[in-house]
């Protein structure tokens, strides 16, 4: 048995793009900045950004597009999907993204650009139902051995 569940929280790095697939289905795509906090060589904490691509489909894509903008804080739950294709130069390319099932808005505009100290999952969001999830565990505890 395998589990394909992804839960992230972060800010949009650009305005979401709305387009239609070849079959006419609405597709809303955006990227979310999810930061890791690590100690640098000088022993100081620093944020390291990771960019995660997210896609929503159908009527949900259309409504999400209306409510999001660059800097918006979002909580996204979905599944990982890897696409592969051949580029114009003949090379094989691949992309790993989250296909969204659920989204919660945490703020927008200038409010969304402020990174919360420790975002907590919203009730019914889905992350807390996953094996090994502990909402009380600190993401930035200094006792982590790595």
Q: What is the pLDDT of residues 76-120, one digit of tens each?
A: 999 999 999 999 999 999 999 999 999 999 854 444 333 333 344
List Cβ neighbours of 125 (8 Å cut-off, separation of 6 or more): 7, 75, 77, 102, 104
The first and second tokens of residue 2, run together, are 């395998």
Measured distance CA(128)–CA(122) in Å, rounded: 9
- Residue 117 pLDDT: 38
- Could you confirm whether domain 6-114 is CATH 2.40.50.140? yes
Residue 14 β-bridge partners: none
pTM of the model: 0.69
Measured distance CA(3)–CA(129) in Å, rounded: 12
């Amino acid at each position: 048995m395998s589990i394909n569940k992804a839960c992230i929280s972060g800010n949009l790095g650009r305005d979401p793009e709305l387009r239609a697939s070849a079959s006419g289905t609405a597709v809303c795509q955006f990227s979310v900045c999810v930061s890791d906090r690590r100690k640098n060589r000088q022993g100081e904490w620093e944020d390291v950004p990771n960019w995660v691509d997210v896609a929503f489909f159908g009527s949900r894509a259309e409504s999400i597009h209306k409510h999001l903008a660059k800097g918006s804080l979002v909580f996204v739950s979905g599944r990982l999907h890897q696409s592969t294709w051949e580029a114009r130069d003949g090379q094989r390319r691949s992309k790993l993204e989250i296909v969204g099932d659920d989204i919660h808005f945490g703020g927008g505009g200038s409010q969304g650009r402020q990174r919360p100290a420790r975002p907590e999952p919203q009730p019914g969001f889905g992350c807390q139902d996953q094996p090994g999830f502990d909402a009380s565990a600190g993401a930035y505890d200094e006792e982590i051995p790595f």
